[in-house]
Chains A and B, each alone.
Chain A
Amino acid sequence: MATDAAGLVKILEKVAEKISENREFLTELDSAIGDADHGINMSKGFSAVVEKLHSQKIDDCGAILKTVGMTLVSTVGGASGPLYGTAFMKAGQAVAGKSSLDFQDFVTILEQALEGIKYRGKAQRGEKTIVDSLEPAVDILKDEKDSGDKGLVMEKALNAAKEGVEYTRSIIAKKGRASYLGERSIGHQDPGATSCYLMLQAAIEKIKEMSVNGL
């Protein structure tokens, strides 16, 4: 068994809730090294996502993710719009036509999301971006996707993302507004890496709470 479209919407609602709870926190992080709008932009984007998902019932999980991506692209306003938007759209393509998702699909979704972000942002690990938290998590999920204890694998992936966020404190920003700060960006944790970790955390919490069989 796996999660159906309604379950996926619940996971996305939880992600939106997490972003909204951390609106001030993300903006505070962004005010130190960026343009002080990350929390505002992300919560605007995700409230539009929730509104959109509630206005129509979609049974295709791929179409749901695509809708999320397109909504983020058109409502966020900052760099996280095209970045997370592309991530969700690319993930949606990979599971297009599926009415339910299993753990392998979850791994595929995050793998494709990472590819989308790297394609759009032309970023590599070590540049103080979303990639620094997402890639370590995806690596673990890919390496251990056949493990018997999926819950443990997700925990490990989430921990890797958290360590990735911590790591961004120690490096110089190479992308976006923060790159204008050069060495002065050291010591600050990256808002994008942080929002990505929070989204993963929300998704994994919800998946566990729904205790979907097979996941």
Chain B
Amino acid sequence: MVGIVLVSHAPKIAEGTLELIKQMTGEKVLIETAAGTCDNRLGTDPVLIGEKIRKADTGDGVIVIVDLGSSIMSTEVAIESLEEPARSRAAIADAPFIEGAIAAAMEASFGKGLQDVKNAAENTRGMKKIA
């Protein structure tokens, strides 16, 4: 099953989003959070992100959901420093954080592949909240 890593500047954002997701998918999907710096500041840490990607990868790859700015660059650095084959089966979804994370987790819980999970997250872009 595709794993998911939630990368945020704030641990509370990542943990809160994880709680929301678990209401829907329970323990079915392997989801890790990588949020904040190693000395508990708001920010992102490529080393931590890399560890969490490795942890979430059971062989089917990992989709990373990112919040703002440095979370994207830190994740890129983390992915570039992974060994193969983990490296080519880790990808960032260009998606809103909460909606993208929920969509990705649902899709992964259906046993879908890496590209489908990524697409599901990215399809939440521009989703209308008010009909």
Contacts and interface: CB of A to CB of B under 8 A. Distances in A.
Interface string B33-70: 00001110111111100000000000000000000111
Nearest to B77: A82
Range for the number of chain B residues in contact with chain A: 10 to 19
Interface stretch (A9-17, A73-81, A99-107, A163-171): A73-81
B15 interface: no
A194 B31 CA distance: 39
A89 B70 CA distance: 18
A3 interface: no
Given A37-B43, A41-B43, A77-B45, A121 B73 contact: yes
A79 B47 contact: no
Interface residues of A, number: 21
B44 A73 contact: no
Interface string B18-41: 000000000000000000011101
Nearest to A40: B41
Output the residue of A76, A77, A81, A177 with the most chain B CB within 10 A.
Answer: A77
B8 interface: no
Contacts of B47: 73-74
B77 A79 contact: no
Nearest to A119: B76
Given A79-B69, A81-B70, A82-B70, A73 B43 contact: no
Given A37-B42, A74-B46, A81 B74 contact: yes
Contacts of A120: 73, 76-77
B62 to A, nearest CB: 19
B69 A85 contact: no
A176 interface: yes
A86 interface: yes
Contacts of B42: 35, 37, 77
Nearest to A41: B43
A83 interface: yes
10 contacts: A35-B42, A74-B38, A77-B44, A78-B43, A79-B69, A79-B73, A82-B77, A85-B46, A120-B73, A120-B77
Interface of A: 35, 37, 40-41, 44, 73-79, 81-83, 85-86, 120-121, 176-177
